Structure 1
Amino acid sequence: MAESKQYTFKWNKEQTEAFIRHRVEHRHLFTGGRDTAANGYRTILAKMGVMGKVTHTQAKKKWDNLKTKYKECKCPASGQGTDDGKPTAATWPCCKVSLL
């Protein structure tokens, strides 16, 4: 039996920022209708030139993770200082690119 290697795409900072910009610019593609999100992510991945390296499902997961991280940075838990090294809205690079 042949071994199949799993390839995991590693997003760099520039690709992540481009992904955020494309997702925000193409928010009209994500209407909530059947398959609109999948087609929207496919469009974005094609524009970025990573189609075939990243699936629409992985792109959706990336977006969900970015939104979660953004919300954590924007509204940190009560009493949580900035001395623990966790990113804040001021320090996390992706917060500079508008998510919503």
Structure 2
Amino acid sequence: MGSEEGVFKWTDANTADLIVWRVSNNRLFTGRRNAAIKAFELYVKEKQLEGKVTPAWVRKKWENLKQKYKDLKSLNMAGGDTAIATWKWYAIMDGALSSEIPLNHFIKPDHVTSFTQDAPPIKQRKEEDWLIALREMERRQEERERQAAEREDERDRRAAAREEERDRRAAEREERRERQALEREERREREMFAREERWEKEMLAREERQEREYREREERREREAAAREERLFKLLETFLANK
């Protein structure tokens, strides 16, 4: 809580009250974004704890209780039940999270002392039990770290695969663009060659047409000149014959 610890002391009664309130108001924790923090804001207001604790701190307190319960329950299943007897909140957390016990009848916040008196007697913890518990905690921590490392490796592999896929697609796009550019260049060259070939054919056809027309005009002029000369000779012959 930071500076809040100097002005407010969180008691067992507060812890019991938090457990009962959290289970009784489970409907507020919908899993949606910010739903949990808003619910704990309501808790702080209802319990008149504003200025003493923050909703975020209360949320962390609950998460710590829940995590410790889960750790001890796992340890109990592994045969280390001694640790359970040393934690006074195990029974009520077990009832809260398993929903097998009506908590409002099981415990009241102002009866924490009676609850702790009704709890199973705490056995003398032996050194062997400590070592077993510590080894189990270390094993779970190592397992969590291993799983986290595996998830990180998996994320890295997926990121590398995505990057490789992006590079491959980029290379394909670049190759496709180069191929299309080459095809466009070849098409332009073919079209230009075809235009030049058509132009040359048209020029040749025009020259041939002009040459043919020129010959036709020359032949026509020659025929017309020959016809005029022939008429002239006939007129001359007629003139000489009449003399």
Tell me which residue corresponds to 1:80: 80
Displacement of 1:39: 1.1
Structure 1 Cα separation of the partners of residues 54 and 17 of structure 2: 16
TM-score (norm 1): 0.75
Tell me which residue corresponds to 1:99: 96
**Structure richer in helix, relative to its length:** 2
Structure 2 gaps, min length 5: 98-243
Aligned ranges 1:1-100 → 2 under 5 Å: 6-8=3-5, 9-76=8-75, 78-80=78-80, 82=82, 86=83, 88=84, 90-97=85-92, 98-100=95-97
Which range moved further: 21-30 or 70-79?
Answer: 70-79
Over residues 63-87 of structure 1, what are the superposed CA-to-partner deviations in whole Å (9 max), with x where a residue is unaligned?
11000111122221635362xxx4x
Structure 1 Cα separation of the partners of residues 96 and 47 of structure 2: 17
Give the % identical residues: 36
Structure 1 Cα separation of the partners of residues 41 and 70 of structure 2: 25
Higher relative contact order (CA 8 A, sep 6+): 1
TM-score (norm 2): 0.34
Displacement of 1:94: 1.5
Residues 28 and 35, structure 2, Cα contact 8 Å, conserved in 1: yes
1:93 to 1:55, Cα distance in 2 relative to 1, 3 A: same
1:93 counterpart SS class: coil
1:24 counterpart SS class: helix
Structure 2 Cα separation of the partners of residues 20 and 27 of structure 1: 11
Amino acid across the alignment from 1:80 = G
Structure 1 Cα separation of the partners of residues 75 and 41 of structure 2: 33
Residues 38 and 56, structure 1, Cα contact 8 Å, conserved in 2: yes
Structure 2 Cα separation of the partners of residues 81 and 62 of structure 1: 24
RMSD: 2.1
Over residues 31-72 of structure 1, what are the superposed CA-to-partner deviations in whole Å (9 max), with x where a residue is unaligned?
012321111001112222212211111011101100011112
